Amino acid sequence: MRAAWIGVQGASQEEVLGALGLEPVPDAPSDYMFSGDFACRTFPGGWFVVTSIQGLDLADDLATAAAVTDQMAVGCEMSTIVMYSEAHGYQGGQLQWSVTHDPDDEARPLAVEGSPPAILADLEAKALKAQAGEDDVDYVFEVPMQLVRHYTGFVYDDEEAPLDWVLLRAAAVQPARPARRERPAKRERPNSALWRYLLLAILAVTLLSWLLQTLT
């Protein structure tokens, strides 16, 4: 599963959806948070959250959504295929921090840029403590999601979440977006398929070499 979500504080549904070029699906019943292309819901504390499976470009769309409020905007993207996750936070339209978990970066299980909130240190410490001696579960993978949850209240894997999300679609008329905006730098995500192909190629070459030696 690969999914992304954005939370904006202090902005209306119309403002956020207008900036992202989305609109409610007419006459669609309320549903699950990852049903359809996009979904949205308002949370306590004035947080409006938009979710999507592969439909959001986190770096671009979060910066766009953050521009409609003078308060906070946060966003997260994750992939359970390669256990990659990242989160970013804005204040007043300006990027404040970025937190990334790349499973291939053993030296830095959690890469942090900018000035993250103090709670991050506690979340990271708990994850690293749980991770010690544990190879079957990637606890650090959850930290970016937990950080965004701290603000928005949104839990991506909540099996008891109410089915009260509004389904969305791309609006018929897309907004004109500014050519330049501050956004987090994109990191290269690990590609598990590429590594599998390389391993198969190495095994094939090794087997062919062994067969040639045997025949000669």
Domain ranges (residues) in the chain: 2-190
Residue 10 burial (10 A CB sphere; 0-12, 13-18, 19+): middle
Q: pLDDT averaged over the chain?
A: 87
For residue 214, pLDDT beyond 80: no
In the chain, what is the greatest distance between 2 CA atoms, to the nearest angstrom? 75
User: What was the pLDDT predicted at 173?
Assistant: 78
Instruction: Calculate mean pLDDT across residues 101-106.
Output: 89
Place of tokens 């030296």: 107
The whole-number pLDDT of residue 54 equals 85
Q: Residue 162's pLDDT is what?
A: 84
pLDDT value for 195: 46
| Paired tokens of 125 | 């410490």
Who has greater pLDDT, 181 or 164?
164
Residue that wins the pLDDT comparison between 183 and 179: 183
Report the C-alpha gap between 103 and 16 in whole angstroms. 32
Q: For residue 189, what pLDDT is reported?
A: 54
Query: Does 208 score more than 80 pLDDT?
Result: no
In the chain, which ranges are continuous DSSP H helix? 13-20, 58-66, 119-131, 143-152, 192-215
